[in-house]
Amino acid sequence: MKKIFFLILMTIVVSVIVFAVVITRDGKLVTPKGQGIVTLKVGQFEAFPLPDYAAKHITGDYKSYLVEVEPGIKVHVLEVGSGYPVFLQHGNPTSGFLYRKVAAELPTDRLRLIMPTLVGFGFSSKIPASRHTLENHMRWINSVLVQLKLTELVYVGQDWGGPIGMGALTLSPDLLKGAVLLNTGFNAPTEKIDISRAHAAVKTPIVGELILEVFGSIFKHLNEFQGDSGSIPDDVIDLYERPVLESGNGKAPLATMRMVTDGPDHPSTPAMRTIEQYVQGLNIPAEIVWGMNDPILGRLLPKMKENFPKAPVTETKGGHFLQEQVPTQIAAAVLRVLDQIPTPKQ
């Protein structure tokens, strides 16, 4: 009897170990393959035809293409319009499509709207979890800006699109001429603190995988972060979720949550210090548009005001993904910032 009990116990232990190994696997590189060529003034890029479930959310004048930022790693870019460049960067767990409503409110005969999707999300390459670092994402998005040969731009950023987008600009510091800051943060931590209880929970190995990859999906909870629980319908959730899950590597949402700093010793903190220093040295036209019903970053508005003390602030009823709720207010801020920029070079 003892022998049988021991065998059962060992079977359970081995099964648990195998399960833990499987769910904490690093994931593999998945590289998207385009079809055809998109020709821009600065060169040619790999075209990426959108599946119907994604294409229906944008108009036919959009360009969809891939920019290879290192071998096997490609960033999917949505672009519409011509004129002064506006660089719009999303965060976790969405994609460049997050700005589609904002783009619809802007004059595309005056503006070139560039919406990259972070590596790991949307139709960009998927990578092993261990490659999700703030420095890597900064470098990859900067490579997109460099390959597009931009000489100046207005930047719009939210969530991780804040530190990553602004971090990319620290590598090409003369590009930035104006900014619209949405719900995000640019400051390095000076003490140990978690940004939310969810972030505190998922940073624990195995626990995070169980919460976000085994028993749940962050995509199914997007409306919980909104001021309006119906602002992200099922087909939009599908727009963000499907390319990630269908790739076979859904590591990005958890990996980027773990990228969020929880103290001075966190691996992302040195890069955050660089970003903070860059931001505090800026002297550019800027506006802040904030979703006051954001349960994660809503309380960081005072810190953003400290970073941009002269920036007008628009407080909205939006939540974390305020682009889905208040695109008109965001677009209006972009236009006001643009009106303060001298005659563009390009």
Q: What integer is the mean pLDDT of 219-228?
A: 91
- Note the pLDDT of residue 10: 56
Distance in angstroms (rounded) separating the CA atoms of residues 196 and 124: 27
Q: What integer is the mean pLDDT of 62-74?
A: 98
Position 228: which residue type?
D
- Note the pLDDT of residue 19: 47
Distance in angstroms (rounded) separating the CA atoms of residues 46 and 244: 20
User: Is residue 346 predicted with pLDDT exceeding 70?
Assistant: no
- Note the pLDDT of residue 292: 97
Residue 320, Cβ density class (10 Å: 0-12 exposed, 13-18 middle, ≥19 buried): buried
- Note the pLDDT of residue 263: 97
- Note the pLDDT of residue 9: 56
- Note the pLDDT of residue 7: 57
Confidence of residue 131 (pLDDT cuts 50, 70, 90): very high
CA distances from 83 to 42, 153, 237, 261, 284 (A): 14, 10, 31, 37, 20
Per-residue pLDDT tens digits for 86-104: 999 999 999 999 999 999 9
Confidence of residue 242 (pLDDT cuts 50, 70, 90): very high
Q: Does the domain made of 37-338 have the CATH classification 1.10.10.60?
A: no
- Note the pLDDT of residue 215: 80
Confidence of residue 213 (pLDDT cuts 50, 70, 90): confident
With contact defined as beta carbons under 8 Å apart, do 88 and 330 qualify?
no
- The domain spans of the chain are 37-338
Position 4: which residue type?
I
The whole-chain average pLDDT of the chain stands at: 93
With contact defined as beta carbons under 8 Å apart, do 99 and 122 qualify?
no
User: Is residue 78 predicted with pLDDT exceeding 70?
Assistant: yes
The DSSP call for residue 220 is G
Confidence of residue 23 (pLDDT cuts 50, 70, 90): low
Distance in angstroms (rounded) separating the CA atoms of residues 80 and 317: 28
Among the residue ranges 123-127, 172-176, 197-201, the one predicted with the least confidence is 197-201
Q: What integer is the mean pLDDT of 128-149?
A: 98
Query: How many CB atoms are closer than 10 A to CB 196?
Result: 13
DSSP H or E stretch at residue 240: helix 234-246
- Note the pLDDT of residue 208: 87
User: Is residue 165 predicted with pLDDT exceeding 90?
Assistant: yes
User: Is residue 16 predicted with pLDDT exceeding 70?
Assistant: no
DSSP of 168-217:
HHHTSTTSEEEEEE-S---PPPSS---S-HHHHHHTSTTHHHIIIIIS--
Instruction: Spell out the residues 6+ positions from residue 281 whose beta carbon is closer than 8 angstroms to its own.
Output: none
User: Model-level pTM?
Assistant: 0.93
User: Is residue 61 predicted with pLDDT exceeding 60?
Assistant: yes
With contact defined as beta carbons under 8 Å apart, do 160 and 91 qualify?
yes
DSSP of 142-153:
HHHHHHTT-S-E
- Note the pLDDT of residue 6: 54
Confidence of residue 8 (pLDDT cuts 50, 70, 90): low
Per-residue pLDDT tens digits for 248-294: 999 999 999 999 999 999 999 999 999 999 999 999 999 999 999 99
